[in-house]
Structure 1
Amino acid sequence: MRKQEITIYDVAREAKVSMATVSRVVNGNTNVRKDTRERVMEVINRLHYQPNAVAQGLASKRTTTVGLIVPDLTDLYFAELSKGIDDIALIYKYNIIITTIENRLMKEDQAIQSLLNKQVDGAIYMSDRLSKEAADAFKRTDTPVVLAGTKDNRQEFASVTIDYQKADTEAYNLMYNDGKRNVALVIADANAVVNAENRLPAYKKFMADHDLGEGHVYDNIKDYSDGYNLYSQLVKDGIDAILVSHDIAAVGILNSAMDAGKKIPEEMEIVTNATQIASVVRPSLTAIKQPLYDIGAVAMRMLTKLMRDEEVADTHILLPYELLKKQSTANQ
């Protein structure tokens, strides 16, 4: 037989106080006398009372739950972001509901709406592609939303990320100073916010500033096989330096080049985004290192303030990045 659940009423009766007093003690309200608090806590511990989070949420109109929207949790980039979010959520006692938005039967806006229907107090969006459907879904709700690892140049949503244009330009200049002139950009989705509004403009400006022509942009290169198969086209186009948005695609290009006997970095230089993958392959990949854990942690801390209607000094935060020079470029 299931053991009878201990309720707030049972605690109040045993401690000889009102249910409101028990609630104040449970929620850490300081407006309770010390001896009363100690008596209530003694009863709570003796009866093994566990406050009902759902009931508390109904009473306060808060669920202490945060929605996390992520393309793919198997991607190390998003996994590291999630760790920072989870650690801060734990400190502030928020539970997390995760929903993925790639390879789903339902559309992205439907997946987001399904999450919001769970009455989460706030949401963090981690995809680099803030689609119009996703943006519209967020606009239709009063639920606070923070973008982590991506940005919205129209600044309609709070965000925590890096300066992609500055980081990419530094990477291009590194390869240019190594004598590379046929520089290309390899991206997963030209329509993604980070690419369309940051990476592509940075690439075009770099090419124009150095009078290098139109250049080459390779789109829809998302995974290892895409990168591996792209290599032959890079050779045909005479590419000698590339910036790759996804590290796993960069590894595909690297391995294909090595299989073909290409000398890296002498004949081709590669720069990508830094995760563990970029450092464990050989030759190791020069990479733009984003403070992924910190981005997640800062995004979650900002969200806690927004959910509590606290003042936020800056809702569009750019954190510092680092260009880690490894074996895939000459300047180490």
Structure 2
Amino acid sequence: MKSTIKDVAKMANVSISTVSRVLNNPDIVAKDKRDKIVEAIKQLNYTPNALARGLIHKRTQTLGVLIPDISNLFYAELIKGMEDAARESGNNLIICNTDNNQDRKNASFKVLSEKQIDGIVFTSEPVFPDNYELFKQLGVPIVLAATHSLEYEIPSVKVNDEQAAFDATEYLIRQGHRQIGMISGSMLDPISGLPRIQGFLRALRTHGIELDPDTCIEYGSYHFKDGYEAVKRLHKKFPEMTAVFATSDERALGCISYLHENKIKVPDDISVIGFDNTRMAGMCFPKLTTVAQPLYEMGQLVIRKLDRMINGEPLEELRTYMDHWIEERETVYNLTK
């Protein structure tokens, strides 16, 4: 039979309220009594009721995380970092997959509200006014992961997508490439679409490379099949390209698959660079050179920021931009050699 707080109090010869104080604010209890209670808890293998403790502290130790597409490997390391940081701070995560659907997003917010979560992590998507209204209705701290909002004062953690895309394109240029194509998300996406396009074009301008965006850029979603179809269209209209910047690893792998099927060697004939440095980047053949994001560390920092907000502690900065780097592997050929 499971032990209760009454059993602990009886064994330690103290009141139930004293046991409760040890569980929730141990420093105010005399050491001798505290030691007796701790020993009784160990002997009885007593586990405090989480709901009861939540009522005492007016917290549930539960955080909600909204993910637009859980099947995307981008989120594996991000969530792992969140989970590890949550454990460190005594919190649990509820993961909600919104599937890029507004109705599912609204339903997720409703569930999280009913669960009385202590805070929310909102990932990847822009914060539109209707999202912000939902945030306000929930009345809990919010931190943005792999996205940000310049319109609203919401803490965020991400890389500088425009600069990262510039660095990826400049890396190709420094390898001797001037006929560079791009597979991108929509220009209407203000988080990872438009900024990466702007970074790509800025790098071309900086190095005096004149390419028509209508010719050298092809658009599509971030899935493998979208990358495959996008590079198919791109290669048809821009056959002289020697390199492709794909703005996600999954797009890049779709690109490599198409090139392989059409007897176009990577990197000998066309070089490919991706974006994210997900696990698949090091598993494919040839191994993918990519722009690396510190996804695990990003997940950790997001939860640590959120926990500080929940505890009423000040944040060192509102918007945090983490370092990125080029992870060199095997898919980019140096034309200058």
TM-score (structure 1 length as normaliser): 0.89
| Residue in 1 that maps onto 2:297 | 294
Cα distance in 2 for partners of 1:121, 1:78 equals 22
| Residue in 1 that maps onto 2:65 | 68
| Residue in 2 that maps onto 1:270 | 272
Verify the 8 A CA contact 2:62 2:91 in the aligned structure 1: yes
Tell me the alpha carbon deviations over residues 154-203 of structure 1, each in whole angstroms, 9 at most, x when there is no partner.
35321111122111111111222334333333234443332245223323
Cα distance in 1 for partners of 2:29, 2:243 equals 67
Any stretches of 5+ residues in structure 2 without a counterpart?
none
Matched residue type, 2:232: S
Verify the 8 A CA contact 2:221 2:227 in the aligned structure 1: yes
| Residue in 2 that maps onto 1:157 | 154
| 3-state SS in 2 of match to 1:98 | strand
| Residue in 1 that maps onto 2:234 | 234
Greater CA drift, 46-55 or 162-171 = 46-55
| Equivalent of residue 200 in structure 1, options 174, 197, 200 | 197
Greater CA drift, 238-247 or 256-265 = 238-247
| Equivalent of residue 212 in structure 1, options 210, 213, 234 | 210
Compared with structure 1, are the counterparts of its residues 200 and 154 closer, same or farther at alpha carbon in structure 2 (3 Å cutoff)? Answer: farther
Post-superposition offset of 1:70 = 1.5
| Residue in 1 that maps onto 2:245 | 243
Cα distance in 1 for partners of 2:193, 2:168 equals 18
Cα distance in 2 for partners of 1:105, 1:211 equals 41
| 3-state SS in 2 of match to 1:180 | coil
Post-superposition offset of 1:85 = 0.9
* Correspondence list, 1:5-84, <5 A: 5-84=2-81
| Residue in 2 that maps onto 1:98 | 95
Any stretches of 5+ residues in structure 1 without a counterpart?
none
Greater CA drift, 47-56 or 289-298 = 47-56
Verify the 8 A CA contact 1:64 1:121 in the aligned structure 2: yes
Cα distance in 1 for partners of 2:285, 2:116 equals 47
Verify the 8 A CA contact 1:125 1:148 in the aligned structure 2: yes
| Runs of 4+ deviating beyond 6 Å | none
Verify the 8 A CA contact 2:217 2:234 in the aligned structure 1: no
Tell me the alpha carbon deviations over residues 27-58 of structure 1, each in whole angstroms, 9 at most, x when there is no partner.
35212111101221233233332211111112
Greater CA drift, 154-163 or 296-305 = 154-163
Q: CA RMSD in A?
A: 2.4
Matched residue type, 1:234: L
Compared with structure 1, are the counterparts of its residues 314 and 12 closer, same or farther at alpha carbon in structure 2 (3 Å cutoff)? Answer: same
Cα distance in 2 for partners of 1:134, 1:53 equals 30
Post-superposition offset of 1:64 = 0.7
| Residue in 1 that maps onto 2:311 | 308
| 3-state SS in 2 of match to 1:107 | helix
Compared with structure 1, are the counterparts of its residues 156 and 68 closer, same or farther at alpha carbon in structure 2 (3 Å cutoff)? Answer: same
Q: How many residues align?
A: 329
Post-superposition offset of 1:233 = 1.1
| Residue in 1 that maps onto 2:261 | 259
Matched residue type, 2:23: V
Greater CA drift, 149-158 or 317-326 = 149-158
Post-superposition offset of 1:276 = 1.7
Greater CA drift, 308-317 or 143-152 = 143-152
Greater CA drift, 105-114 or 282-291 = 105-114
Cα distance in 1 for partners of 2:152, 2:321 equals 13
Cα distance in 2 for partners of 1:135, 1:214 equals 37
TM-score (structure 2 length as normaliser): 0.88
Cα distance in 1 for partners of 2:194, 2:112 equals 27
| Residue in 2 that maps onto 1:138 | 135
Matched residues, percent identical?
A: 28
| Residue in 2 that maps onto 1:224 | 224
